[in-house]
Structure 1
Amino acid sequence: MKLKKSNINWFSMLWLTVLLITTVAVSTTARQMLSHAAGQSFLFLWLIKNAAALSVLILPMMLGAFDIKIPHRQTAVILLTGTGLILYGVANHLPQPAVLESVPSAERYVVQNIFVTWLAYLALLLFSPWLKKRLHQFTIKQRRRTLLILTLVIWLLNLNHAVGVLGLAGGSSFLWFGYLFAMGDWLGSDQALLQQLKTGWLMIVDLLVFLAMCLAAWFNINQLTYNPHDGLLLTTHYQVAINAFQNTYLAMAILVIITLVKLLSSRSLSSFYAILGGLMLNLLAIPKLFVPFLKYQPRWHLLIAIAAGWAVSWGLAVLISQWTTRLDWQLKLDLGAGWDVLKKTFAKCWPFLLTAAVIWGMTIWSFGYLWNWQLNMLQWIITDHNAIVWANVMIMMALAGILIALTNRWWLSSALTIIIYGGWLVASLLKIQARAEPILPTDLATLTAPKEMLGMVEPTILLAVGVVVIVLLGFAVAIEIRHGRKYRLKIQWRYLIGAAAILYLSGFAFINHTNSPTYRWAEKVDDTPYFYAQLRGAKVNGTLLQFANNVDVRVMDKPKGYSKARMEKIGQKYRQQAKIINRQRTHATVGNQRLVFILSESFADPRRVPDLKVSGNPLPYLDQLKHRTTSGLMISTGYGGGTANMEYQALTGLSIVNFSPTMPTPYSQLVPYQKRAVAINQLFSYSDGIHPFTANLYSRVKVYRKFGFNRFYHLDGGSRLSYTHKIDNSSRIDDWSAYQQVLLNLRNHHGNQFIQLATMQNHMPYDNFYHHNNYKVSGTAYRTSQAQQQIETYTQGIHYTDGALKKFISRLDQSSQPTTVVWYGDHLPGIYNGVSMAKHGLVMHETDYFIYSNPAAQKINHSRVDKTKIVSPNEFIPMAMAQMDLKVSPYYALLTQVHEKLPAITLDTNVHSHSNRPHSTAVEYVDQDGLQTTLSLKQMRLFDDYRMVQYDLTAGHHYLLHNWFMLKVPH
């Protein structure tokens, strides 16, 4: 079957027109399309992604496969740079609405870098005659062999698109486009190959590969929605088709070129194809260019603008021409000899590859099990998280390497590795079923009691595991006896493999050291430890890598001079200090007083945010209340996250800045494993924890139990919440319900009491769920209209908090029970995307706080609180005790000294959050004027005492972890 040039031209015009129509459709329906990716919207997005992706691959191949006669090559220069790059440059400087905010930038739907694509196509277009001249210095056979080897290498690289060697895996380097050109040149010249291919069968293969490519595109276009924080935040992923599935696109592009070469009678085509290619590449800029105009009505303005741009492109192509200077260079490449080496290597290493494939399959199975076989999540793991999959595989392959180095028996080593991994996965899944937590390094202590541990497993599971082990070992031994000698290694290779494997595995001992190669590697493969939610970490990272994430965890580095004698000296020092403080205090015990700690989720006055103007005052009552109570600003160690860290510091008086950077979340990494954990509620005879949300995050159930709380009210069992009202369409229990729960618990208990409340009303997301929003914002603190809407919704939410707070304080004022409230915001919400953290980092970590005592408490307490303008969360305990006129133990005397004599202490405020990844060791000190300062020599000694005591209570020998130091008031 032969097609005339005219038919091909008409076909190309049709292709071009379809691209234009679908581009317009995508641009005009972007919001709905990106929100649901279904129905017509799905088809539109599918069409433009696949057509544009294929164009990017096919066009360079066509330049190589066909001789395109361009009498005036400068036409293409003007067409590409004068139209495409100008359009793209303009698009980059236009304000982008929120239509595409939740997805990668528009150009990433087809290629990683449009500029490189344009430039590479332009270079190939200009220099194709000279490139072909150099390529044709080699025989067809040499080119065939070289390109087949190179294609295999690229195929392997693309299995893990995070590799990015020479830009080949990303498809965004000049080398990549040079490869495509050479591939097209070979396919257009290899008549021996073309004669062997039958057109009918070629069409069938084209169809099958096309279907595979469609499936690949669907995998990556599918909307993946899951709750990475167990309901806290809905996360939506849209994947990038060409990057993850370039193998299928490449196969399709090669088949298209072969088909065109078979169908066309001549390899000489007109310059129409070069112009066509330029216009296709220009289309890549259209979605990003015209999305800003979506807010304008009527939409036909957009159609006119696109049509005008189209006409200008054609006009430039016809009117401007100029001859370019010819260049020449040498190109010599012959990898033909590598083919035999490749075959021999495969023959030697195929058992290794087989083992890797089995372990890969077991890893994928474990991910499927953890995600309850949700197809969209499993495809997300395979396509977008395949680097994580291979990280788990490599851990087990390193173990196999150690075994082969020791035994020099590959089949036996392989079987043992598979058995060990299978046992690990079974044990991990059993623990997850029982305790909703994967295996952690702390669980290795159970190996000392194997009988007890095996007794918890059902006999049928043990029997099945035993049968599998016997079968695998028997199979391995049989193969080893018959074929094992083929795969013996020389002693030097055994040393090398063993050393490399040990070096690789030992690197995980430094995975949380921020300057280590392992840490940088973990960041590159997108390893997210999720220390605050270990099960979540296992589901995203795999059980092995999540285990490794927890290997490199140190509570604190041992302070210089730490010893029993030094700690006893410090204990006596603050025992004497307690006596001095207590001379000014009235109450030796809490008596009948109540203390309530309220962590107000994400609360911080938006009027303090730089470059943000808020219409009206959303916090009239809080402003008035702060003027008549102990109040000021708290310096948070997080931005947009890190709630549990502020809660930990407030309840214990210990500062997170003293902990090792490898332990960013003490709630889940430290407290559950302590023999005794310190907390303010231990001064009271009865204590309640309240959190109107799930209790799975941050191991709160374990933490509150370790702290000694009597009851914990939450939504996952435990004690039942009595108030669960939500405002309008919000998915969060409102603050007034949370405050009512506090009031109910205060009424239901007689005697002293401590209550810890962590609210949820103002937690992200802020999806415009209030029926009435009375506040508008303006300024440069946000970049998009979506961020503006989020800030306005958040502002309305804190106004509701202000009203709830007014009712709450009013009820407390009427109570005869002496009650003190420590109320604070834990961090700012992460919605101010227009504020520079480097410039305004300190302000962006300031939240509001106050300490209030109702009239009944004011009657019996006469002490005052010093230093109130700027504090850190670890200061709330001594401040509350001062307001309650309570005498202190040596420990609380130390905290009182820290509060009164040291500035506020925090982590580096130039970063967004320290809530999950290992944080930096940079410590900042903030004085009462809100300025960074340094410590005097006397202050440094006090801070050293504080750090020494914190080490002793958490990571040391617990010399001071006794009642005489922690709780008892000295006489």
Structure 2
Amino acid sequence: MQHQPTESNTSHESSGRRAAQSQSQGASARRQRRPFPGWLYALLFIVVDLITVGIVQWGVSAAASNASLDRVTLWDMIAKMGNGNMVFLFNIIVVALIYLVLLMVTNRFWIATPILLSLAIVLAVVERIKIEVRTEPLMPSDLSFLKSDTGSIMSFLPPGSGLMIGIAIALIAVIIAGAIALSIIDGRHGSMVRGRTKRTNALAAITRIVLTILPLGALYGYAMQVGTVDSWAYHVSRGMGDTPSMWDAVYDAQRNGPVISFLRQINPKVMDEPQGYSEQTMRDVAARYSNVATEINKNRVANLNDSTVIYVLSESFSDPTRVPGVQLNADPMPQIRALKGETTSGLMLSSGYGGGTANLEYMGLTGMSMCNFDASLTSPYQQLVPGASWVPSVNQLWGKPVDSIGLHPYEASMYSRAQNYKKMGFSHFYTLSGENGKDIIAHQNKIDHSPYVSDEAAYQSTIEQVKDVKGGQFIQLITMQNHMPYNNWYNNNTFKATNTPGSAQLPASERESIETYAKGMQLTDDATIEFLKQLDSIDKPITVVFYGDHLPGIYKTAGADEKNSIDLHLTDYFIWSNKASEVNGKPIQGTKLDDAAYTSPNYFIAQVAAQTDAKVSPYLAFLTRMHAHIAAMEPPVVNKIQGWDRIPEGQAIYLNAQGEPMSVADMSKSTQDMLHDYQLIQYDITAGNHYLRDTDFMTLPR
């Protein structure tokens, strides 16, 4: 019997034919969409890598954050390759490793590529905004901020940033859309490593795992080791042209690339763990110096924070007539020389020559010594403080942040001071540009053709922070007048420099620098004495610690002789108290401490306590005793402007009370024990477990 086709059967047959036709057309379309060849993927990988480096570099390519530095662009980095500097290539390699990891994890070229480019755009915008707001690029310490205070991010956005963010979002959207379109066009849809059988699928999986682990391991190993001197990563980085510029984080990111600069600061080596370090050891140390503090405080009556203490870091201030082979036709510092004969004063051993200001500043503010740190830690302000969870500093002895003020007539970005001063508990840090238009230093006058604010102006800004406050304060002033270079800035300069009889003749360029510097010293001499006179008229106790941070790096003739190393690292300092400073009704002015001939900045706060007859904390008691054992200490010194690769090689410099070098091997057992205690204390505060934080080690007696 023959069946007649029904309407339903006809409909099913028609649908089947349409489906078959559609499948046939789809198959034909897939045959037309050929997979991109391997060489094209390789070319695109290189192009995307270069674009990523360019985008990230754009993020830090705003003008250099201080006027004395030239902006470094991507093209400048490329041009340096002709001189053998491969830091641009190094950035490409590092980004390529990150790109490879994304490719292997996603196994899709058209997924990994927009992820990488989007991350680069986000990073570039963040860098741009952070530099505008805080004159500082993205740093490892910012990651902890994001973790703890993400909700405050919007409050940091500067006016006008919305447009840049909107453009960035639009670009990311275009990149994602483009990747989707190319994935459709590409016959293999960007699949990177694939197999066609069980065996080849297993091989593909192993390949992906290996190509993920190897670059991740290389990146992790590099980040963990590059901050350690003489590690493989350190040598690779320097060999590729990475030149740390730790005095200016923006310039460092421009010069070496933000990725390289960021990775270098992830894990700086601070110190080796001292022998015997433990919680019990640190409690024993705290108890030991608590007893010393009790003994010292029996004979002291004053409270340190009842006085106003002003630290004046006088840029490059040091007697040029003390430099071997140099003589001047007049004394550039007659008034300070006379003052030094009337108050606590002497010579300060400096770790720097022609640079390194912030390290002297750090030692003065914390009581810690650079000679205890590893050779890898060249700049605590850049490598240590930003990521530290505990930063005890001497200004904190004055209690509330409102009683701690910093002033610096230059850029806040130098050594990341603005952020570090906040972390150390300063309420204000006044600079030329301030931060977000706030905390701009009041007086900015310059002298003749000098590019720097005068000491007279810096002192006037400081006086205004002191005179209207009744209670005690801590004031930190870092001057700029005598900063290098010394290019005949001053009109009517009558100073003439010559070589001493029998010494090598000074070149004309060196003479000009010394003569310009000498005139600046004379101006500092006048301004400082006038500053002290104004402080003398204020009716509250004020003590000033005045010191030069390092010698100017202009003494090439003397520096050629290594025998002059100690002489080229001794600056002048004094501790002076005004007329209102008294102990038991007797004026402090005119006091001269017996052990003041030589010192280093880590001892300043202990010396201030001794000068003002103030009671001490266990920490200050330790510094007091340490100074009695070793008058001054600094890391090894060199007769050239400080580099930023490492602390110089060699034994640390220790001087006795007569200024004579001391050998650790020849020190008494008690002195060696105190040095070990110093290392324990400093390690616990900076790199250890902060056991001392839970004791009264840093606390002044009530």
TM-score (norm 1): 0.59
Match of 1:899 in 2: 627
Matched, 1:648 2:367: no
1:797 to 504, 520, 541: 520
Among 258, 265, 286, which residue is 1:571 paired with? 286
Match of 2:345 in 1: 631
Offset of residue 713 of structure 1: 2.5
- The answer to whether the 8 Å contact 1:782/1:833 transfers is no
Partners of 1:367 and 1:464 in 2: CA distance: 17
Write the deviation string for residues 513-533 of structure 1: whole angstroms up to 9, x where unpaired. Answer: 221233233333332333342
Whole-Å separation in 1 of the counterparts to 2:322 and 2:345: 16
Distance 1:545 1:765 in 2: 30
How far 1:405 moved relative to its partner? 5.5
Stretch deviating more after TM superposition (408-417 or 725-734): 408-417
Distance 1:473 1:908, change over 3 A: farther
Residue aligned with 1:732, SS: coil
For 1:814 and 1:439, how far apart are their aligned partners in 2? 46
Q: Which residue in the other structure is 1:218 paired with?
A: none
- Separation of aligned partners in 2, 1:855 and 1:430: 49
Distance (whole Å) between structure 2 residues aligned to residue 433 and residue 521 of structure 1: 32
Please state whether the residue corresponding to 1:604 is helix, strand or coil: coil
Which residue in 2 is equivalent to 1:383? 79
Instruction: Establish whether residue 400 from structure 1 lines up as the match of residue 99 from structure 2.
Output: yes
Displacement after TM superposition at 1:627 (Å): 1.5
The residue number in structure 2 matching 1:102 is: none
User: Which one of 665, 668, 672 corresponds to residue 940 of structure 1?
Assistant: 672
2:564 is matched with 840
Would you say how many aligned residue pairs link Structure 1 and Structure 2?
623
State how far apart, in whole Å, the 1-side matches of 2:107 and 2:404 are: 61
Q: In 2 relative to 1, CA 837–405 (structure 1 residues): closer, same or farther, beyond 3 Å?
A: farther
2:455 is aligned with 1:735:
yes
Given that 1:644 and 1:665 are in contact with CA atoms closer than 8 Å, whether structure 2 keeps it comes out as yes
| CA shift in 2, pair 1:520/1:379, >3 Å | same
Select which of 364, 369, 386 maps to 2:54: 364
**Which of residues 236, 260, 273 is equivalent to 1:521?**
236
- Alpha carbons of structure 1 residues 443 and 792: separation in structure 2 relative to 1, 3 Å: same
Letter in 2 for 1:747: K
Residues 915 and 746 of structure 1: is their aligned pair in 2 closer, same or farther, counting only changes over 3 Å? farther
SS of the equivalent of 2:691 reads: coil
Q: Given residue 384 of structure 1, which amino acid in structure 2 is its aligned partner?
A: K
Q: Deviations over 1:94-136 (max 9, x none)?
A: xxxxxxxxxxxxxxxxxxxxxxxxxxxxxxxxxxxxxxxxxxx
Aligned to 2:574: 850
Compute the displacement of 1:366 (Å): 4.0
Render the CA deviation track for 1:661-682: whole Å, top value 9, x for unaligned: 3332222333344444222222
**Equivalent residue letter for 2:179:** L
> How many angstroms apart in 1 are the aligned matches of 2:404 and 2:611?
19
Residue 701 of structure 1 aligns with which residue? 418
What SS class does the counterpart of residue 596 from structure 1 fall into? strand
Could you tell me which residue of structure 1 aligns to residue 381 of structure 2? 667
Task: Tell me whether 714-723 or 879-888 shows the greater mean CA deviation.
Answer: 714-723
* Aligned-partner residue type, residue 381 of structure 1: M
**Within 2, Cα distance between the matches of 1:485 and 1:379?**
32
Q: Is the 2:393–2:424 contact (alpha carbons within 8 Å) kept by the matching residues of 1?
A: yes
Distance in 2 (CA, whole Å) between partners of 1:709 and 1:451 is 23
Write the mapping of 1:276-425 to structure 2, written as runs, cut at 5 A: 349=39, 351-368=41-58, 370-372=60-62, 377-384=73-80, 387-403=86-102, 416-425=115-124
Contact 2:363 2:602 in 1 (8 A): yes
- CA deviation map 1:9-54 (0-9, x unaligned): xxxxxxxxxxxxxxxxxxxxxxxxxxxxxxxxxxxxxxxxxxxxxx
Q: What letter matches 1:734 in structure 2?
A: S
Q: State the SS of the aligned residue for 2:697.
A: helix
Q: Which residue number corresponds to residue 7 of structure 2?
A: none
Preserved contact between residue 562 and residue 948 of structure 1 (Cα < 8 Å): yes
Give the partner amino acid of 2:349.
I
Separation in 2, partners of 1:454, 1:595: 36
Cα distance 1:727–1:872, how it changes in 2: closer, same or farther (>3 A)?
same
Q: Which residue of 1 aligns with 2:646?
A: 918
Structure 1 pair 653–781 and aligned structure 2 pair: CA distance change class (3 A): farther
Look up the equivalent residue of 1:649 and give its one-letter code.
Answer: M
**CA shift digits 1:655-705 (9 cap, x unpaired):** 122233333222233334444422222233623222122222122222222
The whole-number CA distance in structure 2 between the counterparts of 1:741 and 1:666 is 27
Distance 1:720 1:413 in 2: 46
Among residues 175, 186, 203, which one is paired with 1:468 in the alignment?
175
SS state at 1:551 partner: coil
* Structure-2 separation of matches of 1:719 and 1:781: 48
Deviation at 1:642, TM superposition (A): 1.1
User: 2:496 & 2:560 partners in 1: Cα distance?
Assistant: 22
TM-score calculated relative to the size of structure 2: 0.80
Match of 1:610 in 2: 324
Shift of 1:644: 1.2
- 2:345·2:592 contact (CA, 8 Å) conserved in 1? no
What residue identity is the alignment partner of 2:334? P
Displacement of 1:577: 0.4
Other structure's SS at 1:633 match: strand
Structure label with greater radius of gyration: 1
Deviation at 1:392, TM superposition (A): 1.2
Q: Report if the CA contact (8 A) 2:495-2:518 is conserved.
A: yes
Contact kept? 2:87, 2:241, Cα under 8 Å: yes
Q: Contact 2:290–2:618 at 8 Å: present in 1 too?
A: yes
Partner residue in 1 for 2:224? 509
Deviation at 1:877, TM superposition (A): 0.7
Unaligned stretches of 5+ in structure 1? 1-346
The answer as to whether partners of 2:62 and 2:128 remain within 8 angstroms in 1 is: no
Comparing 901-910 with 834-843, greater Cα deviation is found at 834-843
Write the distance in 2 (CA, Å) between the matches of 1:753 and 1:485. Answer: 65
One-letter amino acid of the counterpart of residue 846, structure 1: L
Partners of 2:108 and 2:261 in 1: CA distance: 30
CA distance in structure 2 between the aligned counterparts of 1:361 and 1:853, rounded to whole angstroms? 60
Task: Give the whole-Å Cα distance in 2 for the aligned partners of 1:759 and 1:451.
Answer: 36
Aligned residue runs from structure 1 range 711-730, under 5 A: 711-717=428-434, 718-730=438-450
Distance 2:539 2:152 in 1: 53
Distance (Å, rounded) in 1 between the aligned partners of 2:493 and 2:39? 66
Please say which of residues 906-915 and 768-777 is displaced more in the overlay: 906-915
For residues 615 and 960 of structure 1, the distance between their equivalents in structure 2, rounded to whole angstroms, comes to 53
Compared CA separation, residues 570 and 803, structure 1 to 2 (3 A): same
The worse-fitting range, judged by mean Cα deviation, of 603-612 and 735-744 is: 735-744
- In structure 1, C-alpha distance between the alignment counterparts of 2:426 and 2:298, rounded to whole Å: 31
Query: Secondary structure in 1 aligned to 2:138?
Result: coil
Residue equivalent to 1:889: 617
Instruction: Map Cα deviations across residues 768-799 of structure 1 (whole Å, 9 max, x no partner).
Output: 11011121112377874223211211111111
Give the whole-Å Cα distance in 1 for the aligned partners of 2:279 and 2:123: 41
Go from structure 1 to structure 2 and tell me whether the alpha carbon gap of 1:906 and 1:787 turns closer, same or farther (over 3 Å shift). same
**What is the identity, as a one-letter code, of the residue corresponding to 2:254?**
K
Compare 432-441 and 453-462 and name the one that shifted more.
453-462
Counterpart of 2:408 in structure 1 is 691
Structure 2 contact 58–124 (Cα < 8 Å) conserved: no
Q: Which structure's residues are more often helix, by fraction?
A: 1
The Cα of 1:572 is off from its aligned counterpart by 1.0
Quote how far apart the aligned CAs of 1:424 are.
3.6
Give the 3-state SS of the residue equivalent to 1:808 in structure 2: helix
For the 8 Å contact 1:586–1:861, the answer to whether it is kept is no
Larger RCO: 1 or 2 (CA < 8 Å, sep 6+): 2
1:160-559 paired onto structure 2 within 5 Å:
349=39, 351-368=41-58, 370-372=60-62, 377-384=73-80, 387-403=86-102, 416-445=115-144, 452=151, 460=166, 461-462=168-169, 464-472=171-179, 475-476=182-183, 478-479=185-186, 481=188, 501-502=215-216, 504-505=218-219, 506-559=221-274
